Amino acid sequence: MIELYAFACGVRELPEDCGAVQLGAVTAVVGDVRGDAMRHGLIVQALVDTADAVLPARFCERFDDAAALAASVAPRLRELESRLAAVDGCVELAVRVGRPDRPRAEDGGAYMRARLREANAASALHALLQEQARATVVTESPLLHDACYLVDRCAVDEFARTVAAYGDAHPELNLVCTGPWAPASFAEAA
């Protein structure tokens, strides 16, 4: 029994205790079944630094052996190659904007105007960040904004500076940027 950690291309080095199943141009990074979520995440993150493109697999994705994995992937190998090409050279950055802590508004109108300003500021941030990303996944959440951006590795610092500058210009927003991560939000179809 083997556990699948990720699909990758351009793998220069495998994480410790991992093996590879070659599926055409795609490398399936596998290991012994351990069912350890932390290990799974660490292996996927290690691949970010040692592969050109990484698509994380769901946690606890298991196969009897390499042949069973290959048989499962074969019908969708071309799609998987295409998805890896789409994330080649990229990482994921997450940006979340929480609702600001503010004193109670004096009246309903003031409250609604403040909420509208916050929503407009979050929308403007999203539009700005979309220009710097190859792709975006927006998540439904109670936050003002919750999205993941697929960003070229060489543009990560610029992206982070843009977020920081926007946060400085809008101190009323609770803004956080995390990453770089393996592009898990862009792996769903894989």
Per-residue pLDDT tens digits for 13-37: 999 999 999 999 999 999 998 889 9
| Per-residue model confidence (pLDDT) at position 147 | 97
| Per-residue model confidence (pLDDT) at position 171 | 87
Residue 55: DSSP 8-state:
E
What pTM did the predictor assign? 0.88
- Least confident range of 81-95, 107-121, 127-141: 107-121
- Least confident range of 33-37, 44-48, 79-83, 178-182: 33-37
Longest dimension (CA), the chain: 67
Q: What whole-number distance in Å separates Cα of residue 21 and Cα of residue 112?
A: 56
Counting Cβ atoms within 10 Å, is residue 145 exposed (0-12), middle (13-18) or buried (19+)?
buried
Looking up tokens 């898990």 gives 184
> What is the token pair recorded at 88?
């080649």
pLDDT at 109 over 90: no
Task: Compute φ and ψ for 102, nearest 5 degrees.
Answer: -145, 155
Q: What is the arithmetic mean of pLDDT over 32-57?
A: 93
| Per-residue model confidence (pLDDT) at position 190 | 41
pLDDT at 87 over 90: yes
Rounded to the nearest integer, the mean pLDDT of the chain is 92
From the CB of residue 77, how many other CB atoms can be counted at a distance below 10 Å? 15
Q: What whole-number distance in Å separates Cα of residue 63 and Cα of residue 66?
A: 7
Residue intervals of the chain classified under CATH 3.30.70 are 90-186
Task: Compute φ and ψ for 70, nearest 5 degrees.
Answer: -60, -40
Q: Which CATH number fits domain 90-186: 3.30.70, 1.20.1630, 3.40.10, 3.30.160?
A: 3.30.70
Could you tell me how far CA 155 lies from the centroid of its own chain?
15
| Per-residue model confidence (pLDDT) at position 103 | 65
| Per-residue model confidence (pLDDT) at position 172 | 82
Q: What is the arithmetic mean of pLDDT over 157-164?
A: 97
Q: What is the arithmetic mean of pLDDT over 71-100?
A: 94
